[in-house]
Amino acid sequence: MKPSWYRRPVLDVARDLIGCVVTHGECSGVIVEAEAYHHSEPASHAFVGLTPRTTTLFGPPGVAYVYRSYGVHAMLNAVCEPPGVGAGVLIRALEPVSGLDLMRTRRGLDDVRRLCSGPGKLTQALGITLSDNGSDLQRGPIVFSARPRAWRDVQIAVSTRIGITKAVELPWRFSAVGSRYVSRGVRAAAVASPAEPVG
């Protein structure tokens, strides 16, 4: 999608990203779980304001914000809203579509359900690293593209974000209803209004 598609309220973008495709090299997958983060709430990295670390988040929309988590894992976000607003969508899980053999090699396991069922897992499977931070999500090397036909009317569940200690009550987590590729911890969740078409 083009940069203007991301220049919207981060909650709308997070919801609309469910069903979209992430491609990196020969590997790709459909987004089945994502969370929104915004500088106005303390769980967001951008809450502390503009620092070297958050420069990408406060920059133009439609680019990748990749950071290291727990000193080990790379985490992939899509930067949203106009420049000056620190907002992004954390990609938490993918349903693998192509490049499965390479994903298996990188992950060191065979089970398709475990290849991309977590934010650190999917970056390892797709070969996404910190060097991809700041790259354009339309031009690549990481490419986000619109929902395939089969995903156009995906049902989306809303729940609270996981793995955080602040602003835990905000219902800013979105997932594809019935997907077997989401990360652990999807509990009872309300179903959101039908997703809007991507375009």
- Per DSSP (E only), the strands in the chain are 21-24, 27-38, 64-69, 73-79, 87-98, 142-145, 156-159, 173-176, 190-191
Looking up tokens 């779980």 gives 33
Nearer to DNA, 51 or 105 (CB): 51
Give the x-and-dash track for 29-48 against DNA (CB under 7 A): ------x-x-----xxxx-x
199 near DNA (CB under 7 A):
no
CB 170, min distance to DNA, A: 12
Interface region with DNA, contact rule CB under 7 A, candidates 14-22, 24-32, 147-155, 164-172: 164-172
The answer to whether 188 touches 195, Cβ cutoff 8 Å, is no
d(CA 154, CA 124): 26
- 23 touches DNA by CB under 7 A: no
Q: Peptide bond preceding 96: is omega within 30 degrees of 0, i.e. cis?
A: no
User: Contact between 182 and DNA (CB under 7 A)?
Assistant: no
* 54 counts as binding DNA under rule CB under 7 A: yes
Q: Indicate which single residue of 118, 132, 174, 195 sits in contact with DNA (rule: CB under 7 A).
A: 118
Interface with DNA, residue 3, by CB under 7 A: no
Side-chain half-sphere of 69: how many Cα atoms within 13 Å? 17
Task: By CB under 7 A, name the one of 23, 28, 56, 77 that touches DNA.
Answer: 77
Q: Does residue 75 touch DNA according to CB under 7 A?
A: yes
- Calculate ∠ Cα 177-99-161, nearest 5°: 35
Pair 171, 158: CB distance under 8 Å: yes
* Residue numbers at the binding site for DNA (CB under 7 A): 35, 37, 43-46, 48-49, 51-54, 57, 65, 68-73, 75, 77, 88, 90, 107, 114, 118-121, 161-166, 183
